[in-house]
């Protein structure tokens, strides 16, 4: 720990405590942010990482504890004050106006004016250009943000931060939406910012990024700081152990179950991109799934995995083509309603946007796709509904004080269990899961794996999409890889190999 | 069984209504008389019918600006048909109309105009604000065409009974609005379609993915709203013994105000029929109270506006941090 003395802490958080209604988000957390270093903050979802950096950057202004900037106590009234002090944050969801140009976004709210008090576009665009060239992004600064890829948009956010003479740049899981090459570009940028003396606060839960990029690491668990070290002094396994608070060994072990007859057969599923480009989102995808089998579909973002589920589920009835067979019978699916009647359930990727009615009770969410089951004499029966919810609450261990609690108040993992319950209530024969463990903590992840395994044992045919290779290899009996809307490879469990599967999913 | 927790924020409108009534009783000796209270109740009845439909529309995340015009159109149709029947001059044909026949036709006309709103909103993705704004002027124009700009009066005792009659010691409009409210509350709480309305307003995409026929439900909601406007149209016409071509103007504001004051979220998914009834009560007592206190009609409008703002601000304050 001696390395600390030679490095200069620009900002220091001391004993920060933040209480939200019902949750202690941070409990006496310390953080030192060193100049010219990457200071990683790691922890599971809900550990308090985002809350901590939101306090550093002036988003949250009510908290206990103190912030020291260059050794002097500071209180930021809002993000503007923090930014003027040299602290900028790039949120996970980028805060850009899509219909405005790059330059307009960089100077939003402090546009340079000319003599007659109108916006000086020439100056604004010139300065934007200089900033972007510094970041090695050579483009027309009058382009609209919406025409840029996510990685490029992030560079614009960095440029915006730099335009404030940034001393501390906070990045909240910046690579979560980036492709591999975009990630590389970002890492190079971070290196050059470091050499300019900028302190980076880097939130992540990816261990390879930690070893590749970070100089210091602070580990949070359940709102407490449980470790702080120079990265070179701490083995990754120890970091993981501190994050989850237990050994990595009791991870999920798949049961072996005998696969049954072919449940679902998809033939030549195709889906054209809307518009006149003539490009395909899906091209002639065919596959089979057996009863009691877990089929994994692996592909990078944009490979067409979600579109495949949506096409089968009847969300694109007109442009999609292809045949669906369930239990040897040809089925025509024109709407989600048809799909549910045919015995298909889809657990969507984005549970908040697609899966849940957030301000509705747990019990109401669970019954939403199978209302017929809780009717008595044609009317909703509260007792049946509550009993059903209580059953799933117990079975899937949904942590909540009552089944009438609105799902908005649950953690990500428990919300996901509500979505799973909703679809189990439809008594599906086939279950599609799209990124079922995104954004939920390790414990909840293991519970979800276990649920998937149990459902397979009960004879349900399961198809899981995931972009996490270790996950999909752990839970699947068979994996098919997809790339750019096409089926590019198939692997039985005995042939599982990280490199081979990844290779099959990469664009040629 | 655990008792359901009662959220204090749901009671606020009721407390406000109670306090207003107490204040009025103290300030004006004419307020708490039987005649005046029945008068208030009768006035509120019309807004209650409209606001119940508006609540459903707003719960789906929509809005209906055409309520006043639909009220006028259906009222005019009902009055005209009841008084004159259907006369086809070329064919020497005359069909007289019974009161029940006229009521059914008015309801059907309201449902049709509501269906048209819903059709434009779901089929062509016209935003509800725009679709119903268009209907506001369409239905008003149709009313003018039908009445040629003149009121249709002298409808007879049978027709006017709907608006002025008494039944078991209460005015007919009050009975009708009690019936409408009970049916609507039952519908929202006990049927699937009612539940789907909440789900669609809460998260339309999740509702769609759960197999709910979102467009169908929305069309039904606008049809119900149209039918309830027709009921309100009958009440107003019968009460005045006259179908005015410009009847119902301003009800879009009063009904939205009742819904909002009653705690329903304008973004959909959250709210209740009972809340709206209380909201309509608050507006009714306010209107009546300000008249009894001889407040100028110009000030009345200003005060009503501030009450609406106050209700929304209080609601925001309650839901802060959620």
Enumerate residues 6+ apart whose C-beta is below 8 A from B297: none
Read off φ and ψ for residue A397, nearest 5 degrees: 55, 55
Q: Where are the domains of chain B?
A: 38-312
pLDDT at A343 over 80: yes
Pick the residue from chain A with its C-alpha nearest to B196: A368
The total of structural domains in chain A comes to 3
A202, two tokens: 């880097």
- Note whether A208 and A337 are same-domain residues: no
- Note whether A53 and A150 are same-domain residues: yes
The answer to whether the beta carbons of residues A126 and A207 sit under 8 Å apart is no
- Note whether A331 and A388 are same-domain residues: no
- Note whether A453 and A413 are same-domain residues: no
Angstrom distance (rounded) from CA A170 to CA A198:
10
pLDDT value for B322: 46
- Note whether A211 and A305 are same-domain residues: no
Contact B269 A335 (CB under 8 A): no
Angstrom distance (rounded) from CA A165 to CA A379:
63
Enumerate residues 6+ apart whose C-beta is below 8 A from A425: A366, A367, A369, A370, A373, A388, A392
**Per the domain annotation, does A454 fall within a domain?**
yes
**Per the domain annotation, does A238 fall within a domain?**
yes
- Note whether A499 and A379 are same-domain residues: no
Angstrom distance (rounded) from CA A482 to CA A492:
15
Q: Which residues of A touch B268 (CB under 8 A)?
A: none
State the pTM of this model: 0.80
**Per the domain annotation, does A139 fall within a domain?**
yes
- Note whether A320 and A406 are same-domain residues: no
- Strands (E) in B7-49, as ranges, are none
ipTM of the complex: 0.88
Per-residue pLDDT tens for B162-221?
988 899 989 999 999 999 999 999 999 999 999 999 999 999 999 999 999 999 999 999
Angstrom distance (rounded) from CA A170 to CA A201:
5
**Per the domain annotation, does A168 fall within a domain?**
yes
pLDDT value for A151: 82
User: From the list B4, B209, B211, which residue is nearest A354 (CB)?
Assistant: B209
**Per the domain annotation, does A69 fall within a domain?**
yes
Residue A275 binned pLDDT confidence (cut-offs 50, 70, 90) = low
- Mode of pairing for the β-strands spanning A9-20 and A64-69: antiparallel
Angstrom distance (rounded) from CA B39 to CA B30:
12
Q: Which residues of B touch A346 (CB under 8 A)?
A: 209
**Per the domain annotation, does A253 fall within a domain?**
no
pLDDT at A263 over 90: yes
Contact B269 A337 (CB under 8 A): no
Domain that holds residue A364: 356-426
- Note whether A199 and A330 are same-domain residues: no
Pick the residue from chain B with its C-alpha nearest to A313: B209
Q: Which residues of B touch A341 (CB under 8 A)?
A: 211
Contact A371 B189 (CB under 8 A): no
Percent of chain A whose pLDDT exceeds 90: 53
Angstrom distance (rounded) from CA A392 to CA A389:
5
**Per the domain annotation, does A182 fall within a domain?**
yes
CATH code of A268's domain = 3.40.50.300
Q: Which of A18, A355, A357 to mutate to test the interface with B (most CBs of B within 10 A)?
A: A357
CA dihedral A393, A396, A401, A407 (to 10 degrees): -90
Contact A354 B206 (CB under 8 A): yes
Contact B191 A360 (CB under 8 A): no
Residue A4 binned pLDDT confidence (cut-offs 50, 70, 90) = very low
Per-residue pLDDT tens for B222-255?
999 999 999 999 999 999 999 999 999 889 999 9
Q: Which residues of B touch A382 (CB under 8 A)?
A: none
The alpha-carbon gap from B241 to the nearest alpha carbon of chain A, in Å, equals 40
**Per the domain annotation, does A230 fall within a domain?**
yes
- Note whether A269 and A293 are same-domain residues: yes
Contact A336 B199 (CB under 8 A): no
Enumerate residues 6+ apart whose C-beta is below 8 A from B4: A404
pLDDT value for A508: 67
pLDDT at A46 over 70: no
Could you say which of A405, A426, A447 is where a domain stops? A426
- Note whether A284 and A389 are same-domain residues: no
Per-residue pLDDT tens for A359-399?
999 999 999 999 999 999 999 999 999 999 999 999 998 88
Task: State the DSSP H helix or E strand holding residue A485, giving kind and residue range, or none if neither.
Answer: none
Cα B56 to the chain's mean position, in Å?
Answer: 10
Pick the residue from chain A with its C-alpha nearest to B201: A357
- Note whether A420 and A432 are same-domain residues: no
- Please identify among residues 403-422 of chain A the ones whose CB lies closer than 8 Å to any CB of chain B: 404, 408, 422
Q: How many residues does chain A have?
A: 508
User: From the list A21, A337, A357, which residue is nearest B206 (CB)?
Assistant: A357
- Note whether A338 and A450 are same-domain residues: yes
Could you say which of A189, A209, A244 is where a domain stops? A244
C-beta neighbour count of B22 within 10 angstroms: 12
pLDDT value for B106: 97
Three-state DSSP at A207 gives: helix
pLDDT at B321 over 70: no
Angstrom distance (rounded) from CA B99 to CA B113:
21
Instruction: Tell me, yes or no, if A22 comes closer than 8 A to chain B by beta carbon.
Output: no
Top mean pLDDT of A224-228, B4-8, B170-174 is at B170-174
Q: If one looks up domain B38-312 in CATH, what number appears? A: 1.10.3470
């Amino acid at each position: 720990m001696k390395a600390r003395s030679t490095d200069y802490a620009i900002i220091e958080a001391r004993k920060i405590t933040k209480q939200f209604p019902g949750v202690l988000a941070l409990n006496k957390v310390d953080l030192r942010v060193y100049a010219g270093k990457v200071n990683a903050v790691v922890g599971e979802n809900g550990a308090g990482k985002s809350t901590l950096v939101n306090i550093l950057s002036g988003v949250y202004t009510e908290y206990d504890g103190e912030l020291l900037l260059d050794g002097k106590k500071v209180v930021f009234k809002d993000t503007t004050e923090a930014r003027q002090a040299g602290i900028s944050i790039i949120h996970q969801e980028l805060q850009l106006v899509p219909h405005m140009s790059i330059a307009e976004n960089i100077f939003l709210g402090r546009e340079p004016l000319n003599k007659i008090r109108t916006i000086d576009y020439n100056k604004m665009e010139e300065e934007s250009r200089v900033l972007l060239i510094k970041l090695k992004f050579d483009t027309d600064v009058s382009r609209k943000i919406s025409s840029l890829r996510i990685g490029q948009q992030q560079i614009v956010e960095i440029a915006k931060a730099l335009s404030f003479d940034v001393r501390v740049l906070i990045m909240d899981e910046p690579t979560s939406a980036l492709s591999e090459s975009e990630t590389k570009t970002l890492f190079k940028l971070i290196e050059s910012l470091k050499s300019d003396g900028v302190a980076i606060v880097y939130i992540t839960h990816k261990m390879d990024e930690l070893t590749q990029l970070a100089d210091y690491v602070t580990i949070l668990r359940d709102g407490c700081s449980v470790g702080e070290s120079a990265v070179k002094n701490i083995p990754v396994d120890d970091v993981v152990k501190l994050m989850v608070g237990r050994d990595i060994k009791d991870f999920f072990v798949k049961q072996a179950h005998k696969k049954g007859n072919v449940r679902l057969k998809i033939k030549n599923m195709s889906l054209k991109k809307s518009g006149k480009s003539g490009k395909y989102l899906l091209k002639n995808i065919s596959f089979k799934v057996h009863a009691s089998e877990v089929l994994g579909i692996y592909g990078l973002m944009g490979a067409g995995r979600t579109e495949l589920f949506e096409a089968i589920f009847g969300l694109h009835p007109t442009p999609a083509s292809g045949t669906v067979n369930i239990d040897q019978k040809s089925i025509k699916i024109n709407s989600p309603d048809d799909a549910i009647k045919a015995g298909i359930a889809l657990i969507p990727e984005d549970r908040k946007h697609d899966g849940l009615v957030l301000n509705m009770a747990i019990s109401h969410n669970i019954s939403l796709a199978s209302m017929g089951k809780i009717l008595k004499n044609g009317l909703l029966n509260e007792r049946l509904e509550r009993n059903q919810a209580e059953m799933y609450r117990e079975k899937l261990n949904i942590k909540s004080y009552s089944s009438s609690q609105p799902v908005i108040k649950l953690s990500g993992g428990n919300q996901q269990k509500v979505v799973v319950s909703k679809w189990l209530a439809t008594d599906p024969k086939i279950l599609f899961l799209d990124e079922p463990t995104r954004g939920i903590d390790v414990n909840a992840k293991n519970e979800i794996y276990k649920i998937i395994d149990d459902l397979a044992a009960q004879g349900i045919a399961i198809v899981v999409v995931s972009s996490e290779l270790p996950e999909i290899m752990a839970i699947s009996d068979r994996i098919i890889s997809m790339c750019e809307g096409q089926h590019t490879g198939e692997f039985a469990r005995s042939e599982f190999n990280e490199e081979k599967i990844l290779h099959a999913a990469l664009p040629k | 069984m655990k008792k359901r927790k009662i959220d204090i924020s749901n009671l606020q409108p009721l407390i406000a209504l109670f306090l207003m009534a107490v204040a009025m009783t103290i300030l004006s000796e004419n307020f708490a008389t039987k005649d005046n209270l029945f008068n208030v109740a009768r006035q509120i009845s019309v807004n209650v019918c409209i606001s119940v439909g508006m609540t459903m529309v707003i719960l789906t995340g929509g809005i209906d600006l055409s309520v006043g015009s639909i009220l006028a159109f259906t009222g005019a149709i009902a009055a005209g048909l009841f008084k004159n029947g259907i006369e086809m001059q070329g064919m020497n044909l005359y069909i007289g109309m019974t009161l029940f026949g006229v009521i059914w036709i008015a309801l059907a006309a309201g449902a049709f105009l509501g269906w048209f709103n819903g059709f434009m909103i779901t089929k062509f993705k016209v935003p509800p604000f725009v679709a119903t704004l268009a209907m506001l002027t369409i239905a008003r124009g149709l009313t003018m065409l039908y009445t040629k700009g003149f009121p249709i009066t002298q409808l007879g005792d049978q027709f006017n009974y709907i608006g002025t009659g008494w039944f078991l010691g209460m005015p007919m409009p009050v009975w009708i609005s009690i019936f409408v409210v009970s049916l609507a509350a039952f519908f929202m709480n006990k049927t699937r379609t009612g539940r789907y309305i909440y789900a669609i307003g809460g998260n339309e995409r999740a509702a769609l993915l759960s197999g709910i026929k979102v467009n169908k439900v929305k069309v039904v909601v606008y049809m119900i709203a149209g039918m309830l406007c027709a009921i309100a149209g009958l009440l107003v016409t019968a009460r005045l013994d006259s179908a005015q071509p410009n009847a119902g103007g301003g009800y879009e504001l009063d009904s939205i105000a009742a819904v909002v004051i009653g705690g329903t979220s304008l973004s959909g998914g959250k709210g209740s029929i009972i809340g709206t009834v209380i909201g309509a009560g608050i507006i009714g007592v306010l209107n009546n109270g300000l008249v009894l206190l001889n407040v100028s009609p110009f000030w009345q409008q200003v005060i009503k506006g501030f009450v609406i703002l106050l209700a929304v601000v209080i609601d925001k304050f309650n839901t802060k941090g959620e």
